[in-house]
Structures are given as structure tokens and as C-alpha cells.
Structure 1
Amino acid sequence: MARPKKTDAPDIAQRINLTAGAIERLTCPAGKQQAFMRDTEAPGLRVRVTAAGAKSFVYEAKLNRQTIRRTIGDVKLWSIEQARTEARRLAVVLDNGQDPREIERQHQADKAAEKAAAAAKAVTVGEAWTAYLEARRPRWGARHYSEHLLLVKPGGVASKRAAGGVTAPGILHPLTLLALRDLTAPTIEAWAERETQARPAAARLAWRCLKAFLGWCAEQPEYALVVPSVNPAKTNKARESLGKAGVKQDALLKEQLPAWFDAVRTLQNPVIAAYLQTLLLTGARAGEVLGLRWEDINTKWRGLTIRDKVEGTRVIPLTPYVWHLLAALPRRTDFVFSSTTAAGGCIVIPRNPHHDACAVAGIDALTVHGLRRSFKSLTEWLEIPTGVVAQIMGHKPSATAEKHYTVRPLDLLRVHHERIEAWVLEQAGVVFDAKAAPSTLRAVV
């Protein structure tokens, strides 16, 4: 039998001793996508050639009656001896009953886990907080979301209203600079001890938000690697440092109504004056009244649509005096209590003007939220049904019959609400013609 020429393609039907020349002459037969040339020195070692001419070392063997084929590498990068060494290593793995593909997959998984762990160790509280807000934003209201932003704001922005001429950083901002893995129980306890000295109420609120944030992180695969399974914010020491919020009792007394109305109605800003009176006479939350738009006022059926944080929206009666207040306001924006200078188009909660009015009236420690408490307290003088007051104020029903069997239409609420308003104005000494159209009403003290 004649010996093949060195220029001839090797016979792939037979095992051969792999050489650089044989590999160079190897070609893929016409009509096939790939072909293999087997080595005699290392069982299982092959050189694969594709129809496009690409060549690589591969290892092929059987495990549990299934063919296993694994690519070793390109023939341009691996020498023949290196490929034989790798083929022998893979043969040993197979002899031990192991699948080299599974070993490689596990190796890749381990590398990915190491990479994820390294990334988790590098993430800061601020970065995780940003991801938390984006994940929760669809389920939060705009105000709740903005309050979470304020908790971590860096501060340092020039402001005429801020002490020192610049805004202070958010109460959680110092923690955002830490790595998430360093947000431990001792760190949170030290923060709580420090912050409760200056602003205990704000610290308690921030602590509750921090607990929710860490609970969320523990459920995320990318953060669970560095967050303890036990929430580090839930410690007795932190709870004791922050203390408990006291029960607020600020509310207008019946005999304080004349002085309060006189002081509020003489405020220079008529929008703020109308806002504060509307708060007292509707019992709504401060933010709910701020969010009133002109489209929320139904003059035909005399109703006010309140954007309720509990139920979404609720409709309460548009009582005569409140209608009189709102009709007198300028229609400058979509908001009823508009502002030409505020970025949002409506006034901000006027705590300082209200404080000044209370000082003029000689009333101490009455907050803006205290007006909502005042509405509820003053209705006790009239023995208004508790369910009626709760429905007007937007409180959840507290009894099964109230929740499932009592339906009060707007007209029934109006009977009680107008009675409340008339009594409050009578005690305040405010007299006006409730039957006159709002545009012709003239308030008389």
C-alpha cells in the first residue's frame, strides 16, 4: 500500500498520531458541517474542523451510554501536548463517574456567586435605597415617595428659609454613605441615640422607614448576601433610645373659636386664611385639602371630592361657608389653594402663618393637624353619630355594621355636616347668609 503524500489530507477514518502538518492539511469533507480527526496518543482527543475551516481540539467519550463532547480550545492557541494533557485530565474525571460539563457549570456558578457577593459587598446604602424607592414607587403615593427622598437628601442647598442659609441633610443621609454590609445593629443603635437628642419624632419615623427598607433588602437576591436574616434595625436598644410618641391633645376649645377665627381671617394671605378655615370645618387631613382642584368641586350637587390616602377618594358635603371661602379664591392654577411662587402650583402647609395667628389669638401649641382633631372634638357637643364624623373625616369604619350595612348618601351627610358648620360659626361669632349665592355672600363678624 502506497504511503500518502505529505500534501494529501489525512484519512479521518483512521486514528493518527497528531502532528502540526496533519492538522494543517485537515479539511472538512464536502457536504458535511464538521468532521473529526482522532489521536492515537490520547484516547478521546480529536481535532474538529468545520465547513468554514475553523479547527479546534475537542474531547469525546461516553458516560452512562451517552456521548460527551467538550471543546478544549482553538488549535492556534493550544499545542498538541497541551491538548493531550487536558484530554487525559478529562478522562480521569470520567473514570470517577463525573460529568466534566457539570463540573464546569458548577465552576461558572461559583464564579458568578463570588462576583455577586463582591458586588453586594460594594453596594452602598444609598444605592440600595434608590433601588428600593424605584421598586416601591408604583405602590406609593407621590407624597409618600417624596418623603422618602427627603430622608436621604444631601442638603447644602442655598435657602432663605433654612437655618444658616443652606438646607440640612436628611436624617438618614449619614447612613447612605455606608456600605450596606456595614449597616449593622450597633451602627443603627448609635444613629438612633444621636438623632433622638435633637429630633425624636423625625427619628422615630425614619427608623420605621429604615426597618421597612432592610426588610425589603433581605428579600432581594442581590442584597440578601450582605443583609442579616434578622432585621438589624429591630433591636430593643434602638427602640428604647427612640422612645414612644406621646399622645397629642392639641385641639381648639369651644371658647377659643372666636379668637382663632378673628386671627386667621385677618391673615394677609387670603388663600392661607381660607385653607385653615376649610381644614377646621371639614376635618380633612392637611395634605388632602392642599390637593383640592377646581374640578373636585361639584357646585350642582354641592360635594367636595377628597383624594383620600385610605380609600382613594371620598365625597363630602360642600357646606355653605366653605363654599363661600372657595368661591372667593383666585383661579390661578388647577389647585384651589394656588400659589404663584410655589413649585407645585399650590401653597405648602402654612405652619408658620398658623402659629403666628395662634399667637395673636393667645392659643398655645395648636398644630395644623390639631385642626382635624378639633373638628372631631367639637362634634361631641352636638352628639353627631360617630359613623357620620368618621365618614366625613375619612376614617375607616370600626364596626361590622358600620362597614358592611350602613350606607350614607351625600344628602344625609350634608344634614349633619351643615349642622356642625353652623354651630362652629355660631360659637365663633361669624354670621353670614347661608342661603345667598357664594358670589354675593358677605361675611360679618
Structure 2
Amino acid sequence: MVPPCLFANGPYKKSKSRRDAKICPNCKSTIINEPVEPIVRLTKLKFKPEYWEYSDYHHFLNAAENKVLKKKINMWMPWQTDHLPPAGHICIGSSHGWLAYILRNNCSLYLYNPFIESSSMAYLPLPPIETLPPIISSRRRLNIDSTSSSSSIVTEFMIWKHMSLVSALDVSHNFFRKVVMSSAPSPFGADQDSRCTVMAIYGQEDPQRLAFCRIGDTSWTALNSPLTDSYVDLLYFSKTQLFYALTHNGYVESWNLSDPSSPERSLAISTMPPKLQPTMNNHQQSVRSHDYAHTTMYLAESSEELVMVLRHKCFNRGVFPFSVVAKENTAAFDVYKLDFVENKWVYVPSLCDRLLFIGQNHSVSLSANDFPGLRKNSIYFAPENVGSDSDGAPEGCNDLGVFNLEDDSLQRLDLEYMEPSPIWVVPQI
């Protein structure tokens, strides 16, 4: 795997050596070819008073060094005439060092790279949400606040199956499940950007479907599949140069989008891996087969293998003791790789020197040899849902930690209440 690159003049990491560095011709920034520790994005930290200035900063936690980094928020879009309020956007995905956002006020979509200092290069617009099938129409109206006499433009959407208009705020919270890219958009020119394909799981309600676009497209292209259940995860598998989509029932299908005008679909496998293995002890089996256990599935690429990660959760009221809703906390993980020849899932008891980062992000596998501060044979996990539940608490927002496959141990990161939930991002250009 090619190590990520970080602009050395950014506020996150400074290299003591300029060896193997090159200069970006567009912004004259230095690019250092060296591994960069994955970080988890913390948009509203509340665990220490000194981080209460969250309205003006993005916060990042360096997982290898356990340090919090911050970056001044400047949400000015080059294609817009005004600044966006810091609280006016929701992060809906992370892929190849870029964050995917949806605006609360009108559901505009864009990609943002917090590690690029040039504002003209850090933002890339995505096609309008109105070009996706569930959106029938949209309208903008003037809303006047009687208490403050202020006014604002409100965007509402007519969505299929709904009998009334839905506000942009409601749509922005739960319309997208995941957004991934085939590669990082290049900062060196639009010709490179045209090769980057963006794929998303979308839908206001089940079943959630698939759509894709390329950087620069004016509309999304919806993908049609005979599968009827919702999609739960996406992955771009660099070995085959195909997208893989996972459904709620465990079906995995591949999508060849090299020709955007003619997408090619193929069913990779239609069976789920088993939850239990003969080598598991009684405790391991009880966690995975408990009546109140719930399993979430992810796709990842590790050592050129397509793997499925099973995340086993159990209900726990201890995280939010004043909530009437029991919260799910991660209890264990299992990893399986897909045998394309035998068309079956094979249990992987160890990742060896590899480690995985999973959550709302595009799942990432790295070598622990490149990051001495991280633990090999481990899974770093963050919440997979960036929205909030009905009682106002972020869904699973504290479900953040490290699971070691060797001894089945789990250590939670010492972070308190956060809103929105954090998301992993691996810096690279």
C-alpha cells in the first residue's frame, strides 16, 4: 500500500527532514512522502473545557500519539458567494483523506480535504441531491422568525412515498449511509479528477440503494439491482478495480464503473460467514450468540484480500444512564476473507502486522510497521452512524475503541459525549 502523504506546512504534522519531498505546482506546498497516522475527526468535543471552542475549529485526535489537533474552520465554497456557518454542515463519509459533507440548509453536497491549505483546491462540489430518484421536487421559500424578525431561505423536498414536504434538515440527517471514492481527487488538475468515481448508499427509508458520479458530473447515476434489501457498506477494491457493495442479508455484488454509461454488475457471493467458530471459547461464543447481540458488517481490503468484518454489539444502558433507550456497545469482532475460487468466506484468526479502521469511513487497512504508535492485529473502530437518535443523544457516539484479535481484548478510547459522532480519516494527497 502506498503510504499517505501530508502537506508538511499544515497544522497537523511537521517533518524534520525534507528528503523525498516534492512541490505541488499549483499551491507551492510541500508534500512529504511518509506514512501519516490515521486520525478521528471530532467536531464537537465536550470532554475538556479548553476544547469548547468547537464552533470555530475542527478537532482531530491522532490515534498513534493520542494528541488532539485542531484546525480553524473556513467553510467558504469557491462556487458560493457567502461563508457557511460552522454548524451548517454534516459529515456523511470519509474516503482517501477527503470528507464528504451535506449542508443542513439546502442539502448541497461536496467533498472537503482539511489537509489542503488552498481553499480553491480543498473543496469539490458533488451533483445535486435532486438528481437522485427518491427526490421528486424541491422548493425554496422565505421563512420569517417572528421572535427575532430575522428571515432565511428554507429548502424543502418532495420525496417519493411521502405525502408532504420534508425539510432539508431532516433529509440531511439520514439520507446518506456511506460515501466512498475509487481514489483521491488529484490536486494537480481536472483531468486527474475525472478518473475519481464517487459511490454512495442513499435513501430516506428502506431499501437504501446505490448511486455514483464522477468529479465534475452534474447528476448522480442510480444503479439498478435485482436485490431488494438495503445496502449497508461499500468498498473500492483496488486489486480488481471494482466497487463492492454489501447488503443487509449478506449479499456481496461487484460493480464495474469504468464506463459510466454502461455499469456492469456481478454477484460475488450470496452467503454470510458463520458467527461461531470451533476454536472459540465459551465466552467468545456467548458474546456472538447472545439474544441481545446485534451484528454489523463491513467490507475492507487487507493484504490484497477482500475481507468482511463482523462487529458484534450488545445493549448497555451504562453509557447514557439517564436515557430510556439502551445503547449498543461493541463487544467483539471477527474477520473473514472471500475465497473467490471456492466462493466462500474463510475465517481469518489474525491480521498479523495489519490493522483496520472501520466506522462511517471507507474501511482502511494499514501496516503497523509504518505506525509504531498503533497496535498490530487490531481493529480501530468508531461509530458507524453519524446521526442522532430520537432522544437526542448521538447514536453510539461513545462506541469508539481498539479491539485486539490475538486475545479478544477491547479498550475504549477515553472520550466523553460527542456530537456528531466521530469518523476516521487517513490523510493523503
Asked if these proteins are the same fold (TM beyond 0.5), I'd say no
**Larger helix proportion, structure 1 or 2?**
1
**TM-score under structure 2 length normalisation:** 0.22
**Larger strand proportion, structure 1 or 2?**
2
1 or 2 for the larger relative contact order (CA 8 Å, sep ≥6)? Answer: 2
**TM-score under structure 1 length normalisation:** 0.21
